Amino acid sequence: MPHHHDHEHSELSDIELRVRALETLLTEKGYIDPPALDALIETYETKVGPKNGAKVVAKAWADPDYRSRLMEDATAAIAELGFVGRQGEHMVAVENTSAAHNMVVCTLCSCYPWTVLGLPPVWYKSAPYRSRAVRDPRGVLAEFGVTLPEDMEIKVWDSTAEVRYLVVPERPQGTHGWSEEDLAELVTRDSMIGTGLACDPAKREDAA
Amino acid sequence: MNGAQDLGGQMGFGPLELEDNEPNFHAKWEERAFALTLAMGATGTWNIDSSRFARESLPPPVYLTSSYYKIWALGLEKLLIDNGLVSPEEIDAGKPLGPSQPLNRVLKVESVAATLQKGGPADRPETQPARFNPGDRVRTRRMNPEHHTRLPRYARDAVGTVETVHGVHVFPDTNARGLGEQPTWLYGIVFRGTDIWGPDSDPNLTLRLDLWEPYLDLA
């Protein structure tokens, strides 16, 4: 289980009370159905998350026809796996190669492909990432422990419209013949944002 | 608007704060703020562009010192007041002081899954041909509107190349202001990093933004 802790310190009680009062007000006004709020939260806590995207990437690695469909029309190809809807209405898949690395940001707010990655982490929505990803992506990548060759093109995608981007990381060496299920285990959330790479299977075995 | 939200290229925010195995929410109130925002969005009283504007028009000191779900909560309060659904006094009191307003719909628990699955597609039928084609060199407009826009400051008055023609999409600059969707062509534009950040910047950086036709002219 993830460890819950509070970053807000003294601000917490104020905003906590404020949001609670707002929910009470909207409920009594008849504007919301409180069980619907629980269902919304549960959806993103249990059903929608980066495991979805990992399945898409693993399938693209394992199945050349699927990869072609994904690169041609990502929205339709992702829908084949049942991942559709809010903040995934217009999907584009961008593929990392030995010559180019893709990295996604939303400098203006927090646009993120919810259907395949779930809700964005705090750092993705934060000023340090949003300000620097477009100007100094190598510096940002270094903070994630990723160093790329100087001559490699870095393509930064600023999500300014309703198009959402899924990075397809490079398939790690030494995974020939792996099943989609095993491949999906190598696909991290950060690798699909472009702030990480897929796991190296050799290192995984060492760690296990 | 040139608000605090337009962060691309700003400096001095320090390193990223990364958290292993980060949860979706760091407190219960974040869950509720998230769900309240989605549930009220589903009433159809406002659109995604006006909700973005509500958040970005928070005073910069507030925007920059608030956690993201606090920004959502404050933005939601603003939308509720601006749309006449609640009064500031009701927000302070935390209870109704007057009658409710009729809504287009209320998101019920049984329709949550279908509503999320349906989403809110922004593409619209074509009514006129696209002005630009892949390969065209275009210059973004120099503009500083006080209203909502999705052309960040760092990419204004800059020359790039059309890479993708996405289709016709809702135009946020009008949709956020109650002036209608005014759908227009949306393009994927690629810029060289050095054309945005200058000759001293990373020569192997390219930037891609999705920009609407009214932001662009042939270079």
**What is the Cα gyration radius of chain B?**
20
In chain A, residues 142-171 whose CB comes closer than 8 Å to chain B: 143-144, 150-163
- Read off φ and ψ for residue A27, nearest 5 degrees: -65, -50
On chain B, the residues whose CB falls within 8 A of the CB of A23 are 32, 36
Rounded CA separation A107/B200 (Å): 22
Residues in chain B, how many? Answer: 219
pLDDT at A10: 53
In chain B, residues 74-93 whose CB comes closer than 8 Å to chain A: 76-77, 80, 85-86, 90-91, 93
**Is residue A13 within 8 angstroms of chain B, CB to CB?**
no
The number of beta carbons lying within 10 Å of the beta carbon of residue B75 is 23
Buried/exposed A33-44: b ≥16 CB within 10 Å, e otherwise: bbebbebbbebb
Packing angle between helix A34-42 and helix B28-41, nearest 10 degrees? Answer: 110
pLDDT at A13: 80
Output the average pLDDT for chain B. Answer: 97
How distant is the Cα of B70 from the closest Cα of chain A, in angstroms?
7
**pTM for the full predicted model:** 0.95
Structure confidence by residue, pLDDT tens digits, B156-198: 999 999 999 999 999 999 999 999 999 999 999 999 999 999 9
Q: B214: helix, coil or strand? A: helix
Cβ distance of A118 and B24 shorter than 8 Å:
yes
**What is the Cα gyration radius of chain A?**
19
pLDDT at B54: 98
Q: Tokens for A11?
A: 């601000």
Q: What ipTM does the predicted assembly reach? A: 0.97
